[in-house]
Amino acid sequence: MLVVNGLRATVGEKEILQGLNLTVNPGEIHAIMGPNGSGKSTLAHVLSGRDGYTVTGGSATFAGQDLLALEPEQRAHLGLFLAFQYPVELPGVNNTYFLKAALNSIRKARGEAELDAVSFLRFIKEKLKILHLDESLLKRAVNAGFSGGEKKRNEIFQMALLEPKLAILDETDSGLDIDALRVVADGVNALRSPERSMIVVTHYQRLLDYIQPDFVHVLAKGQIIRSGGKELALELETTGYGWIDAEGLAA
Amino acid sequence: MTDHALMSWLPPLAPAAPAWLATLQAAARAQVQTQIAAPDAEAWRYTSLNHLLEQGFVPIDETITALQPDDLDEVLIAGLDSRRVVFVNGRYAPELSATEALPPGVHLDSLRELLAHDPDAVRALLPAESATLPLFMALNVAGLDDGLVLRLDRAAILAQPLELIHLSIGLDQPSVAQPHHLIVLGDGAQATLVERYVSLGAAVYCTNAVIEIQLGRDAVLTHERLQTESKNAFHLSGLSLRQGANSRYQSVNLGLGSRWSRTELLTEFCAAHAECDLRGLYLAGDEQRIDYHLDVNHAVPNCTSRETFKGIIYGKGRAVFDGRVVVAKDAQKSDAAMSNQNLLLSPQAEIDTKPQLEINADDVKCSHGTTVGQIEPEKLFYLRSRGISAALARRMLCLGFADEIIHTLHSETLREHLSEQVGQRLESAPWD
Amino acid sequence: MTSTTAVNDLVKSEYEHGFTTEIASDTFPPGLDETVVRAISQRKGEPEFMTAWRLKAYRHWLTMTEPNWAAIDYPKIDFQAISYFSAPKRPEDAPKSLDEIDPILLETYQKLGIPLEEQKVLAGIAVDAVFDSVSVATTFRKSLAEVGVIFCSISEAVHDYPDLIQKYLGSVVPYTDNFYAGLNAAVFSDGTFVYVPKGVRCPMELSTYFRINARNTGQFERTLIVAEAGAYVSYLEGCTAPQRDENQLHAAVVELIVLDDAEVKYSTVQNWYPGDAQGKGGIYNFVTKRGDCRGARAKISWTQVETGSAITWKYPSCLLRGEGSVGEFYSVAVTKGRQQADTGTKMIHIGKNTRSTIVSKGISAGEGQQTYRGLVRIGQRAEGARNHTQCDSLLIGDRCTANTVPYIEVRTPTANMEHEATTSKISDDQLFYCRSRGLTEEDAVSMIVNGFCKEVFNELPMEFAVEAQKLLSISLEGAVG
């Protein structure tokens, strides 16, 4: 589904991704872990098409298309979804309006009929239940004045609504207390399916207690330096990231 | 000096005018002449009058009677629950108005008729001596012709909103209409007034309206002013507001239309514990010039004012915001907060903003904040990452920006109507 | 034209004595015309180009009118009643001892901890042994010369560095700029010239290293600072002690020229005599200060603490021409008694990615009248320009005034401009809190006001900051209650 090959990307003068390889097949959950500044968020941003990064080498293919050549909305149309680490507040932009515009844009791009107001509302209320979210959410402006937990839940809610093929969860656990984390993780687990893949970007192992990954990768200095099963995450929990420097030197 | 283009806006004085009116108008005329001779450079720092003066506007002494009620269809807002008073080119049009069954204590008249039948009633409503007015408000008084006189007796309530529609249609000659409205709410009276400026057709004309409002003690007025005239219209309007003790005035000023417009809002607190909330949204698109001037006078202690204006400027649009809050000596416990935020969307768009505070008392809470910026890239990216096209995302974000003002309109119908109007205008906005 | 005749006579007699002889009593009679302008130039032994420039300025000045847009009120100045050249006072005309000096002034000196000898000089008393300022200056200059920094009076610079003067003088503030700048160009008495060559970081703060050094530069001071590419200099102007001056009108001009990657930091403490309780006798301070960031990444930082003068009219400005250049303005202004100040800045963004910061703290007490007047203009080519303005006024007492008049003009959609302003008084709660902890009301006010100004004081060089705080406290004494 996603094939990243030798990806290199810079921010300004600085090379953040230095030849990254990653393959994600349908239904798989990949965790990407690593210390601060290793390039985890950069990877998420480059894949979803955020400005400010220059791709200097390598490729990323998603659903058979050259992902890097596409506009952010085209990537979304193809089924890519980024759950933001810091969801953006959009004061004055009504949530329902926003969600409907997003869903219908994607449906339209896929050649599906746009949902009318009634069926949209029915659809959306169904999804609210999955995340145990209150309907009042729909009347509010997108993320404006939301608590940290509410914002993250709203991200997962959007994911439920837009039904992506590949979801990238960028440090979704950051800033969440354990209860909120559980709610978010339950939401994510409810959305697992054999057709849907996920990349879970995180600094800590604790999120992976709730979202069990199929693969764990360690990202350091812009490359994946180790890959393994979920036991790798537990190992990292005990060893921390200190060993990377030594190993990095040896390599 | 008498052959200055603006002097030709004035019709000859009506021979039958009562002496007091003639005196008032002569004084206003003298003010106009003084200001033409020595223009107030600061008031006109960012706006040139040339374009307006070139048009050669003249007053037309003609009541348009050819319009039928269904001609109004294209300007009425479907579903808006209101009574309405219609002025066509500045003259009252009873056949287009709908003012049946006014509640007790609410009096509605045409200024022209009231002057003819009961001039003393008008005299009682006008200020005894003419204060120094901005140029075009003085010009309006000098050319006083018709307007709405709305009086609410003590404790009278006009629950259903009153729509005051200024309908303009082009004549063979570029014409100027100068309606002058008098709104007086007695103690404890309440009303909602929706003032609208609309065009039929796309002819070049000018409206120079003045609305004088007096609020008695505890009176509450909601005043929504919607200017959606055609792109060939020239628009001038002046508000003069005087508030009694504990009165509340809330207004929303939307400036979306016209080629060239200038709005002056002059407010004064006359007794303590009054509140004044002025909100505004302006859109200046291609070749549009939009100019707002606020003069908020905290003349007495313990009053609160809020001035919140937002602008979206695109294409070759140009907007001016000149807001001034004055706290008089001894007007302690004054509380004023002015804010002006602007989105500048294209390289040839221009904004000049001048938010001023003039504070002559110490125990006050006054602030102002101004920003000029553009759509934040993070917000745009967020929307696009959800599959929304860049063009739609920009429009959504602009509407979101505008919503802080639009959502304060009193009715859902109006809010939807205006959101749509703003959305439509932005749809044709060039983004680069 | 009797005054012209008088000046002519004077110039003639001057001629007999030659230029090098200093005459202690050398003061022109009041009045201004071309003869006076020529006489000033001759008296200072200036080259022809300077005389010509002064005359052009004078002729242009005649066509100009006094600005009237500022929120200040003062009796009309009779420019013919002023003497445009005066050498130091004759010792016999000066007060003989401190006993003859306004006791309030002396009290202030004591509070500031100014040594007795210095107090005498500041008060204009004839002292036998003046400080050895010459030798101080010499040592000072020597170490500067080692790194190639020129630091001298502008009169000396006209003689010694005519090329630099011709190249830069009037290039930022032309004599056509405004009425007072025009007048200054015609009749400027003296001032300072600083030149920092390429890549040199000036090894010390250039300052009026002696409190009294700034005296006798006259009422029409002119300062020119040039920082070549990569240079850095910090210049301190003024003095915290209140200075008496016989000249009521001061119209100074300061020009800064900053090239690629260079930085000039210009700090001012202005504490001219504000006049007595009725506002009589105070200084009128009409200053034009402007810096030109001509090079890429050039930086100008203006910091001012304005507590003196009866009238202040002053807008230190930055022309941000070079790509990525930076302008800063930090200001504390105090008006009390009958003082009036109309002050602020102009940030003109011309180059791409230029940035400016404005922090203005106004304190108005008594019957003081204060206006912040500022312009932020972001031109069409100033892509990515940024401005942040914070403008706060503190009012003490119910008879003072604080106005805020910002002009904001933006012409590019990639610019970001934020302006915030607040007006408030010291809250009773704040005062009570401090007093319940044992502070006197005056100390509490002083503490709160100093806190209010912290952001600006932080920008001052250390020693100056300490003095400025002390000065602020003294200025506000008696302002409460």
What is the 3-class SS of chain C, one letter each residue?
A: CHHHHHHHHHHHHHHHHCCCCCCCCCECCCCCCHHHHHHHHHHCCCCHHHHHHHHHHHHHHHCCCCCCCCCCCCCCCCHHHCCCCECCCCHHHCCCCHHHCCHHHHHHHHHHCCCHHHHHHHCCCCCCCCCCHHHHHHHHHHHHHHHCCEEEEHHHHHHHCHHHHHHHCCCCCCCCCCHHHHHHHHHCCCEEEEEECCCCECCCCEECCCHHHHCCCCCCCEEEEEECCCCEEEEEEECCCCECCCCCEECCEEEEEECCCCEEEEEEEECECCCCCCCCCCCEEEEEEEEEECCCCCEEEEEEEECCCCEEEECCEEEECCCCCEEEEEEEEEECCCCEEEECCEEEECCCCCEEEEEEEEEEECCCEEEEEEEEEECCCCCCCEEEEEEEEEEECCCCEEEEEEEEEECCCCCEEEEEEEEEECCHHHHHHHHHCCCCHHHHHHHHHHHHHHHHHCCCCHHHHHHHHHHHHHHHCCCCC
Cross-chain Cβ contact B361/C398 below 8 Å: yes
Alpha-carbon distance B59 to nearest alpha carbon in chain C (angstroms):
36
* B neighbour chains, 3+ CB pairs within 8 Å: A, C
Among A88, A155, A165, A170, the residue to mutate for chain B (most B Cβ within 10 A): A88
Two structure tokens written together for C120 = 């005498």
- Chains sharing 3 or more CB pairs under 8 A with chain A: B
The distance of C459 to chain B (nearest Cα, Å) reads: 24
Q: Which residue of B has its CA nearest to A99?
A: B386
CA B223 to CA B226: how far, in whole Å? Answer: 10
The mean-pLDDT minimum among A36-50, A93-107, C334-348, C433-447 falls in C433-447
Separation of alpha carbons C224 and C195, rounded Å = 8
**Mean pLDDT within A114-124:** 89
Residue B324 to chain C, least CA–CA distance (Å): 9
Considering chain C, what is the average pLDDT of its residues? 81
Largest CA distance in chain C: 73
Q: Which of C85, C78, C93 is nearest to C28 (CA)?
A: C85
CA dihedral (C464, C466, C470, C476) positive or negative = positive
pTM, full prediction: 0.86
Q: From its phi and psi, is residue B105 left (phi > 0), alpha (psi between -120 and 50) or beta?
A: left
If you average pLDDT over every residue of chain A, what do you get? 88
B306 touches chain A (CB under 8 A): no
pLDDT value of position B376: 92
Residues of chain A by 3-state class (helix, strand, coil), percent to 5: 40, 30, 30
pLDDT above 90: residue C30: no
State percent of chain C over pLDDT 70. 77
pLDDT at C479: 64
pLDDT band for C217, please (50, 70, 90 cuts).
very low
Flag if B389 and A73 touch (Cβ within 8 Å). Answer: yes
Q: C417 and B373 in contact by Cβ < 8 A? A: yes
Most confident of C267-276, C282-291, C348-357, C463-472: C348-357
Q: What is the 3 state secondary structure string of C124-172?
A: CCCCCCCCCHHHHHHHHHHHHHHHCCEEEEHHHHHHHCHHHHHHHCCCC
Helix, strand, coil percent content, chain B, rounded in steps of 5:
20, 40, 40
Per the CB < 8 Å rule, is C417 touching B355?
A: no
Looking at the complex, does the CB of residue C398 fall below 8 Å from at least one CB of chain B?
yes
**pLDDT higher than 80, residue C98:** no
Q: Which residues of chain A are within 8 Å of residue B393 when distances are taken between CB atoms?
A: 73
Give the separation between CA A129 and CA A157, rounded to whole angstroms. Answer: 10
pLDDT at C218: 55
Q: Is the pLDDT of residue C397 over 90?
A: no
At C282 the pLDDT is 80
**Residue C49 in tokens:** 């180009």
Find, among B21, B95, B112, B110, the residue nearest to B61 by Cα: B112
Query: Of B332, B352, B369, which is closest to C409 when you measure between CB atoms?
Result: B352
Which residues lie below 8 Å from residue B106, measured CB to CB, with a gap of 6+?
A: B150, B151, B152, B153, B156, B158, B191
A111 interface with B at CB cutoff 8 Å: no
Contact present, B262 and B136 (Cβ < 8 Å)? yes
**How large a percentage of chain A has pLDDT more than 90?**
43
The two structure tokens encoding residue A106: 């994607």
H/E element, A205: none
β-strand pairing of C191-196 with C150-153: antiparallel
pLDDT given for residue C50 in this prediction: 95
CA gap C212, C109 in Å, rounded: 13
Residue C12 has pLDDT above 80, yes or no: no
Q: Which two tokens stand for residue B271?
A: 């007794």
Q: Is B431 on the interface with A (CB under 8 A)?
A: no
Predicted confidence (pLDDT) at residue C5 exceeds the cutoff of 50: no
CB atoms B364 and C399 under 8 Å? no
C106 against C3, higher pLDDT: C106
What was the pLDDT predicted at B336? 96
User: What length does chain A have?
Assistant: 251
Q: Are the beta carbons of A90 and B379 separated by less than 8 Å? A: yes
B403 has a chain A CB within 8 A of its CB: yes
Residues facing residue C388 across a β-bridge: C357, C418
| Residue A5: alpha-carbon gap to chain centroid | 19
For the cut 60, the answer to whether the pLDDT of residue A251 exceeds it is no
CA distance C437 to B345: 54
B430 at C interface, C-beta within 8 A: no
- By residue range, what is the domain housing residue B235? 2-271
- The answer to whether the Cβ–Cβ distance between B384 and A73 falls below 8 Å is yes
3-state secondary structure of B184: strand
- Residue A155 amino acid letter: E
CATH number for region A2-90+164-239: 3.40.50.300
| Tokens representing residue B225 in the block | 């002013």
Confidence of residue C116 (pLDDT cuts 50, 70, 90): low
Q: Given an 8 Å threshold on Cβ–Cβ distance, is B359 in contact with C403?
A: yes
> Is A84 part of the contact surface with chain B (CB cutoff 8 Å)?
yes
Q: Which of C69, C409, C426 to mutate to test the interface with B (most CBs of B within 10 A)?
A: C409
Asked if residue B338 belongs to a domain, the reply is no
Across the interface, of C412, C419, C423, the residue whose CB is closest to B347 is C412
Mean of pLDDT values over A38-42: 90
Highest mean pLDDT among A142-156, A215-229, B265-279, C306-320: B265-279
Chain C: residue nearest B351 by CA?
Answer: C410
Range of lowest pLDDT (A176-185, B336-345, C412-421):
A176-185
Q: How confident is the model at residue C478 (pLDDT cuts 50, 70, 90)?
A: low
Instruction: Output the DSSP codes for B128-175.
Output: SSPPP--HHHHHHHHT----EEEEE-TT-EEEEEEEEEEEEE--SS-E
- Whether A50 and chain B come into contact, CB under 8 Å, resolves to yes
Scanning B348-367 for CB atoms below 8 A from C yields: 348-367
Q: Which residues pair with A217 in a beta bridge?
A: A32, A227
Specify burial of residue C422 (Cβ count, 10 A radius: 0-12, 13-18, 19+): middle
CB interface of C with B, residues 229-248, below 8 Å: none
Chain A residue with minimal CA distance to B390? A73
Q: Which of B42, B46, B372 to mutate to test the interface with C (most CBs of C within 10 A)?
A: B372
Write out chain A residues lying below 8 Å of B392, CB-based.
101, 105
Count CB pairs under 8 A between chains B and C. 112
Closest to B385 (Cβ–Cβ): which among A48, A90, A103?
A48
Chain B nearest C-alpha distance from C140 (Å)? 47
Closest CA to C288 of C333, C257, C265, C255: C255
Tens of pLDDT along chain B (432 residues)?
Answer: 446 889 989 887 777 788 899 999 999 999 999 999 988 888 999 999 999 999 999 998 888 888 888 889 989 999 999 999 999 999 999 999 999 899 999 999 999 999 999 999 999 998 766 678 999 999 999 999 999 999 999 999 999 999 999 999 988 889 999 999 999 999 999 999 999 999 998 899 999 999 999 999 999 999 999 999 999 999 999 999 999 999 999 999 999 999 999 999 999 999 999 999 999 999 999 889 999 999 999 999 999 999 999 999 999 999 999 999 999 999 999 999 999 999 999 989 999 999 999 999 989 999 999 999 999 999 999 999 999 999 999 999 999 999 999 999 999 999 999 999 999 999 877 665
Q: How confident is the model at residue A101 (pLDDT cuts 50, 70, 90)?
A: confident
When scoring B357, B371, B394 by the number of chain C Cβ atoms within 10 A, the one with the most, hence best to mutate, is B357
Interface confidence: ipTM more than 0.90 = no
Say whether residue B387 is in contact with chain A using an 8 A CB cutoff. Answer: yes
B373 shares contact with chain A (CB less than 8 Å): no
How far is CA B243 from each of CA B134, B191, B337, C317, C320, rounded to the nearest angstrom?
20, 14, 18, 42, 46
Contact exists between A and C (3 or more beta carbon pairs < 8 Å): no
Measure C446 CA to nearest chain B CA, in Å.
17
**Res. C92 pLDDT band, cuts 50 70 90:** low
Query: Taking residues A95-118, what's their average pLDDT?
Result: 89
Contact check, Cβ <8 Å, B359/C412: no
The full set of domain ranges for chain A reads 2-90+164-239
Encoded tokens for C175: 């004599």
Contacting residues for C189 by C-beta, under 8 A, at least 6 apart? C40, C85, C217, C218, C219, C220, C221, C222
Provide the number of structural domains found in chain B: 1
Chain A and chain B share a number of CB contacts under 8 A equal to 85
Which of C78-82, C262-266, C359-363 has the weakest average pLDDT?
C78-82
Sign of CA pseudo-dihedral C103, C104, C109, C111: positive
What span, in angstroms and rounded, lies between the C-alpha atoms of C344 and A171?
Answer: 46
**pLDDT of C209 above 50:** no
pLDDT, tens digit, 9 for 90 and up, residues A2-39: 999 999 999 988 999 999 999 999 999 999 998 888 89
The answer to whether the CB atoms of B374 and C414 lie below 8 A apart is: yes
Given a contact cutoff of 8 angstroms between Cβ atoms, the answer to whether B183 and B106 are in contact is no
Mean per-residue pLDDT, A180-198: 90
Element (H, E) at B194: strand B190-200
CB contacts of C407 in chain B (<8 Å) are 352, 354
Q: Which residue did the predictor score with more confidence, C22 or C391?
A: C391
Q: Say if A and B touch: at least 3 Cβ pairs within 8 Å.
A: yes
- Report whether A99 contacts A155 (CB < 8 A): no
Q: Label residue C355 left, alpha or beta by phi (over 0 means left) and psi (-120 to 50 means alpha).
A: beta
**CA-based torsion, C93, C99, C101, C106: positive or negative:** positive
pLDDT score of C133 more than 60: no
According to DSSP, the residues that pair with B83 across neighbouring strands are B162
Q: Give pLDDT, residue C16.
A: 31
